[in-house]
Structure 1
Amino acid sequence: MSSNWEVKKLEDVTINLNSKRVPLSSREREKLNKIYPYYGAQGIIDYVDNFLFNGEYLLVAEDGENLKSKKQNVANIAKGKFWVNNHAHILLNNGLSDLYFLYYCINNTDISGYITGSVQPKLSKANLNSIKLLLPSLPVQKAISNILKSIDDKINFNNSINKNLEEMAQALFKRWFVDFEFPNENGEPFKSSGGAFVESELGLIPEGWRVGTLSDLGEVVGGATPSKSKEEYYTSRGIPWITPKDLSINKNKYISKGQIDITDEGFKSSSTKLVPKGTVLFSSRAPIGYIAISKNEMTTNQGFKSLVPFKHIGSEFLYYVLKFNTETIENRASGSTFKEISGSEMKRVPVIIPPIDVIEQFNIIVQPNGKLVEKNESENDSLIQLRDALLPKLMSGEIRVPIECNYPPVQEYDLPLAAESKAQYTTI
């Protein structure tokens, strides 16, 4: 630790604004003109038609399960015009601290000793103010937070690109395969241009299309769990093995591995199947509807009914078929303890199947964007690892940084591919 770092109480370097916090009633939150963010301790939870704060503030959880979990941040930055609910402390710096440094510092500090309550964890104002943090001078704080923030800005930037690409792909799928406005032979929207329809068990569908089942689009594959009593069946580096919990933690569209792998012995001991790259993983219970695309060969536990797409179907098309039919699949599930869709029932789920050439046109458009999403997710995984490795070393002073550190704002990154992709979608 550097000699000029000092232990300070949080109240010495911040101004606590909790007295200005005014909870909103449910009626006030139901107003129509919802334009301003409504923050909880973990981020935006709603939008309201008024704001109480305007600027940049540090929010720290006052209560909730996140105070028990190290997988979730207890601090969050809110900026702009917004309202805060009554579950977050609101802090402003007093000129002796950098809010972003405090954000990283608090989230990297074990504050369990300041939390009270066994049933409902609580961080009182007095205990919050008494939290002791190791702080360098303000210029060093800013230099450290600039490094970490530049990484987070790039992660958020990639997430923003991916969100836009995903929204465009879903909109295109809906336009073509739900609203039936795919381009006809003249490049005109089919339905709006007077395209012919025929009756089917799923309603009117374009002439030349048909109603089939999910088994017409890919092979339905289940999974299994090797015996948990055998330590030799599990490893950190082996055959990727995915559970629904992995998809609840990893929100990426594409996935390469879960929290734990299985060994060759574990694989041979169970009935789990090795599925190829491009398989669309679909959780079949607890809960139904987590979806991801495999980046490599992998296995799953019994909580999946995954689909290996047929060659002429493709992963992207099948991914969106499942996304848009999740409610139908849930409605066909059964079970008293928790609902589950069986393999046989999954195969029988009815779907509208367009001609191969229409599927191919769709895939030609969305596949490049899918590759960009996958690239951005992989980059984010690397950035998260880098940030998490740097954070404790920077916060302890083990790694020294030059005070003149400056990093470009996130808006300076270019978006040529995303812009091209948007143009493709808007002209179809």
Structure 2
Amino acid sequence: MVPEHIVLKQISSNFINGLACHKFRPKDGEQTLPVIKIKEMHDGITAETEQVSENIPSKHKIFDGDILFSWSATLEVMYWYGGSGGLNQHIFKVNPKSHFPKEYVYEQLNSYIINFVKMAEARKTTMGHITTDHLEQSKIPLPPESLLKQFTEKIRPIHLKIGQTKQENRELTKLRDWLLPMLMNGQARVE
């Protein structure tokens, strides 16, 4: 039996492109969110991370567990576990349609990246990127519902463990960054 194929874009209710965050600079005293750019996707939020007003549209806010897809320069898919933030341009937030498990959407996008890289290289631009047309042209196999359910039951615990580990790493990094200066200047000691 030949599996049915669908357009990649059909597994998501939308691919939300990030904001030009410089247009949403925070005013004095206003609550802020860190701007999540491709750099933050790799390095996490740092002291150099720009800030954006917390009053950006809610669809451009990202939270732990959201799927991010950088479509410019570095083409990659990841789960975000760096805390709340504002989505910058050149990154899609991918919201799966209700009948497609998040894990399936993530795995399909992640395995399709090599095709997007080839599409970007074929355009011969200095900074490779894909467009919504590429999403419309990309076809993926659609497994039978029973197989999709079995896949989700197997992969979901793995994805949850990855998320939990990333959150723990974030907390341990904060603790290290708080403790290390105190150890270095003698305010704290390890016996």
Count the aligned residue pairs: 185
Provide Cα deviations, 1:150-199, integer angstroms capped at 9, x if missing partner.
xxxxxxxxxxxxxxxxxxxxxxxxxxxxxxxxxxxxxxxxxxxxxxx43x
Deviation at 1:395, TM superposition (A): 2.4
Alpha-carbon distance in structure 1 between the residues aligned to 2:116 and 2:28:
32
Counterpart of 1:339? 128
2:33–2:52 Cα contact (<8 Å) kept:
yes
Go from structure 1 to structure 2 and tell me whether the alpha carbon gap of 1:214 and 1:394 turns closer, same or farther (over 3 Å shift): same
2:79 aligned residue = 293
Superposed CA offset, 1:287-337 (max 9, x none): 112x22245775422212332111221221111111211111122233623
Task: Give 1:370's aligned residue.
Answer: 159
Partner of residue 224, structure 1: 19
- Are 1:225 and 1:302, in contact at CA under 8 Å, matched by a contact in 2? yes
Letter in 2 for 1:259: T
Match of 1:238 in 2: 32
Report how far residue 277 of structure 1 moved.
Answer: 6.5
Structure 1 counterpart of 2:170: 381
Paired-residue identity, %: 23
- Specify the alignment match of 2:186 in structure 1: 397
Q: For structure 2, list consecutive stretches of 5 or more residues without a partner in the other structure.
A: none
SS of structure 2 residue aligned to 1:227: helix
More helix by share: 2
Q: Which has the larger radius of gyration?
A: 1
Measured in 2, the distance between the counterparts of 1:299 and 1:276 equals: 9
- Per the TM alignment, residue 220 of structure 1 is displaced from its structure 2 partner at its CA by 2.0
Answer yes or no: is 1:214 the counterpart of 2:8: yes
Contact (CA 8 Å) 1:240, 1:298: kept in 2 or not? yes
Cα distance per residue 1:220-274 (max 9 Å; x no partner): 221221336x742699953454211111214xxxx9xx93442145x26xxx734
- Letter matched to residue 221 of structure 1: I
Q: Is the 8 A contact 1:214 1:346 kept in 2?
A: yes
TM-score, normalization by structure 2: 0.79
Distance in 2 (CA, whole Å) between partners of 1:327 and 1:380 is: 28
Q: How does 1:244-393 map to 2 (within 5 A)?
A: 244-250=38-44, 259-265=49-55, 267=56, 273-274=60-61, 278-289=65-76, 291-294=77-80, 299-333=86-120, 334=123, 336-393=125-182
Alignment of 1:94-109 (within 5 A): none
Higher relative contact order (CA 8 A, sep 6+): 2
Q: RMSD of aligned C-alpha atoms?
A: 3.2
